[in-house]
Amino acid sequence: MGVSGFIRGFNFLHRTKPRISVYPSGYIQRRAFSDSKLLDSNDSVLPVLIVGAGPVGLVLSVLLSKFDFEKVVSPISVAHFSQYKLTRLLVKLLENLGFCICTSEGPESLDHEPLKGREILMGHECVSIDITDQCVTATVSFSKEGESMTRKIQSKILVAADGAGSTVRKLVGIDLKGENDLQKLVSVHFLSNDLGRYLLNERPGMLFFIFNAEAIGVLVAHDLKQGEFVLQIPFYPPQQSLEDFSPEICKKLIFKLVGRELSDVNVIDIKPWVMHAEVAERFVCGNNQIILCGDAAHRFPPAGGFGMNTGIQDAHNLAWKIASVLKGVASSSILATYETERKPIAIFNTALSIQNFRAAMAVPATLGLDPTIANSVHQVINKGVGSILPSSMQKALLDGIFSIGRSQLSEFILNENNPLGSSRLAKLRHIFEEGKSLQLQFPAEDLGFRYLEGALVPDSKDVVPAPQLPTGRRRDYVPCADPGSRLPHMNVRVLSKFQSEETISTLDLVSGDKVEFLLIIAPVEKSYNLAQAAFKVAKEYKVSIKVCVLWPAGIVTRFQPESKVTVAPWKNFINVIEVKRSADSLSWWKTCQMTELGAILVRPDEHIAWRSKPSVIGDPYSKMKMVFSTILGIESINIRNNVLNI
């Protein structure tokens, strides 16, 4: 089926508190908008509605659009890159993919137009949801010429990518589990070329934890050359309020942290935020029609940079599954595997982020500034004896206690001649030498995360390995081809371009533009038979598959291999030869911890759906049928009937 125009992203520029109520039956309605106009909507039912145009919602839009047979999008390399810049780039990318960025005001307003799809509705807020067996109806509010308006949008699937405070999650009544309100902070986004130059010359770096007797804060250098920074400051409401962080006060705080006045501080934005470590109890509900992803599904401390990255992995996991359901090649039950696969990763990354956050806090704790003590003191002022004091006295008390705390950092105490200072400094050195503070590199977790159950065929049905726990130590990524793992990377050369020096990654063999499986085999007879069977089954199941014949380094020279004959009449195959980094580096199959008699089936999201370590025993056609029906969540008998009926 065609899947043209199925994305909606909402964003709102002027957010109002959603006025909603949840009915006990789980059927959700909005309270009457007595003061708002309801626009008639001529829209038909859209395939997918994404609520939330943050990085996760936008990436899901890009991925789904690519599965809509649009042009290829280049891969993005790893970088330290501000999230707001990434969001802008993603919006630009979606514009290039034919999306229209619409506001409720002005010529792009679509208030009276039926939605065709491929619109990002800025300034629109999802305020209620009705779920029926046929579709999900979202009520969206926006303001136009000072008036509050609403419209209804129907879709088969609604994806909630509406962030940590997710309205949709609350509307469908999904609870979060974990630790909430770990710390409140104020985030100050500012520019200063003066500071940028100073740090470039004196202390180039990305992250600065600053503790001195005057002030405490964490400075993130987004771009030293451009002088762009974000400062995180602990925030203790209600004794402190946002007025205590006016641009002028923030400037003074920055000077105290840096230790001198800067000539050109320009404060752009000041926002409070709360740190939680929580995962939604369910990611999918309403008969697989409502799906949570990104911060809507999990929110954790930003220690280690897992938040958005985990959300983008969610989008990657989800996009091919949604596209497969909409194309009618997979059962809607495949959407439930999104939760089976992604929830354990979210739980793991939450635990890892808490561990990393606590490791980072070991530094101030060693200096006599234990944040848990500060939080306990704050609790006593809020709820204990301090709460009976007038608010001005509470504030003065808090300021006084923090000032005493910061005095621990004075040169008088923190020096080698002072026994207390010297012992603290020694402990600090130990923390850094042992690498026990904040860690920023997580190769094993970034690349080695693995789905144990879901839209995949495990090696053995009986043994599902126990989920791992974070160790708190840096672990290297060890490539492997266990089902559920990410396809290992190796450089290969396409044999039809053998004269060229150009190499690609095995990851590039997975199509980024359509829902296509990839079967990697060695050039051996039994594997060619398996490839034939895979093509046949894929055709019956109406899924696309490409076969990659991976030749060992050194075997093929100028001669074109015989795959063409052995794979005929099927045409969607590619011959590649491995390009080893050095003569003694591991071959492809050894890297995958397999033999060349094996085969690897890769999903459209680059995770391994199935592999056979030795060659397939028995009938390859039956084997491939079992494999595809398991992955797609369909009974082979039904598919066979459908195919015969057509």
Ligand X SMILES: Cc1cc2nc3c(=O)[nH]c(=O)nc-3n(C[C@H](O)[C@H](O)[C@H](O)COP(=O)(O)OP(=O)(O)OC[C@H]3O[C@@H](n4cnc5c(N)ncnc54)[C@H](O)[C@@H]3O)c2cc1C
Out of 68, 119, 162, 578, which residue is the one contacting ligand X (CB under 6 A)?
Answer: 162
Task: Answer for the pair 529, 623: CB distance below 8 angstroms, yes or no.
Answer: no
| Minimum distance from residue 78 beta carbon to ligand X (Å) | 12
Any contact of residue 54 with ligand X (CB under 6 A)? yes
Paired with 520 in beta bridges are 548, 600
Distances (CA, A) of 116 to 2, 5, 110, 327: 13, 6, 10, 18
Shorter beta-carbon distance to ligand X: residue 306 or 573 = 306
Min. distance of Cβ 164 from ligand X in angstroms? 6
Which range of residues in 54-62, 93-101, 239-247, 344-352 is near ligand X by CB under 6 A?
Answer: 54-62
- Listed ranges 46-54, 456-464, 548-556, 576-584: which one lies at the site for ligand X (CB under 6 A): 46-54
b/e string for 198-234 if b means 16 or more Cβ within 10 A?
A: bbeeeeeeeebebbbbebbbbbbbbebeebbbbbbbb
Min CB(331)–ligand X separation in Å: 27
What kind and span of H or E run contains 628?
helix 620-632
What one-letter code names the amino acid at 67?
A: F
- CB-wise, 112 or 271, nearer to ligand X? 271
Cβ pair 333, 205 in contact under 8 A = no
Task: Evaluate whether 176 touches 249 at the Cβ level (below 8 Å).
Answer: no
* Separation between Cα atoms, residue 172 and residue 24, nearest integer Å: 10
In the list 52, 344, 405, 454, the residue contacting ligand X (rule: CB under 6 A) is 52
- Check residue 94 for interaction with ligand X (CB under 6 A): no
Which of 125, 445, 482, 606 binds ligand X (CB under 6 A)? It is 125
| Angle 355-165-14 from CA coordinates, rounded to 5° | 135
Amino acid at 572: N
Is position 561 an interface residue for ligand X (rule: CB under 6 A)?
A: no
Determine if 123 is a binding residue for ligand X (CB under 6 A): no
CB of 440 to ligand X, least distance (A): 9
- Which of the ranges 62-70, 157-165, 415-423, 633-641 carries the binding residues for ligand X, by CB under 6 A? 157-165
63 binds ligand X (CB under 6 A): no
C-alpha triplet 166, 336, 462: angle, nearest 5°: 135
Site for ligand X in 303-322 (CB under 6 A): 305-309, 311
Task: Please report how close the Cβ of residue 170 comes to ligand X at its closest, in angstroms.
Answer: 9
Choice between 36 and 612, CB closer to ligand X: 36
Q: How far apart are the first and last CA of the chain?
A: 14
Cβ of 158: how many Cβ atoms within 10 Å?
27
Positions 64 through 83 that interact with ligand X (CB under 6 A): 83
Give yes or no for residue 295 binding ligand X (CB under 6 A): yes
Taking the least distance from each CB to ligand X, the nearer of 83 and 595 is 83
Task: Choose the stretch contacting ligand X; rule: CB under 6 A; options: 50-58, 209-217, 530-538, 580-588.
Answer: 50-58
Q: Is 594 in the site for ligand X (CB under 6 A)?
A: no
**Residue 178 interacts with ligand X (CB under 6 A)?**
no
User: How many chain residues touch ligand X (CB under 6 A)?
Assistant: 31
Answer yes or no whether residue 10 interacts with ligand X by CB under 6 A.
yes
Cβ proximity to ligand X: between 183 and 612 the closer is 183
Interface pick for ligand X out of 56, 257, 574, 601 (rule CB under 6 A): 56
As a whole number of angstroms, the distance between CA 98 and CA 299 comes to 31
Cα separation of 540 and 426, whole Å? 68
| CA distance linking residue 261 with residue 248, whole number of Å | 13
Q: Is 616 in the site for ligand X (CB under 6 A)?
A: no
Per CB under 6 A, contacts with ligand X among 469-508 are: none
- Nearest residue to ligand X, by Cβ distance, number only: 54
529 is a contact residue toward ligand X (CB under 6 A): no
Is the preceding peptide bond at 569 cis, omega within 30 degrees of 0?
Answer: yes
CB atoms within 10 A of CB 148: 13
Partners of 299 in the beta sheet? 278
Check binding of 391 to ligand X (CB under 6 A): no
Residue type, 100: C
| One of 129, 149, 161, 627 touching ligand X (CB under 6 A) | 161
Residue 371 binding ligand X, by CB under 6 A: no
The three-state secondary structure class of 209 is: strand
Q: Which of 36, 61, 155, 167 binds ligand X (CB under 6 A)?
A: 167
CB of 273 to ligand X, least distance (A): 5
Largest Cα–Cα distance in the chain?
88
Single out the segment in contact with ligand X by CB under 6 A; choices: 128-136, 159-167, 539-547, 553-561: 159-167
Q: At residue 386, what are phi and psi to the nearest 5 degrees?
A: -65, -25
187 touches ligand X by CB under 6 A: yes
Q: For the chain, what's the residue count?
A: 646
For residue 409, give the amino acid letter: L
The strand ranges marked E within 409-561 are 491-494, 504-505, 516-521, 544-551
From the list 117, 227, 294, 633, which residue makes contact with ligand X (rule: CB under 6 A)?
294
Strand order in the sheet with 504-505: 504-505, 491-494, 573-578, 544-551, 516-521, 599-602, 608-612
Which is nearest to 453 in space by CA: 315, 317, 316, 342?
Answer: 342
Q: Can you tell me which of 3, 11, 235, 359 binds ligand X, judged by CB under 6 A? A: 11
Whole-number minimum distance, CB 10 to ligand X, in Å? 3
Provide the binding-site residues for ligand X, judged by CB under 6 A.
Answer: 10-12, 18, 51-57, 83, 125-126, 161-164, 167, 187, 232, 273, 294-295, 302, 305-309, 311
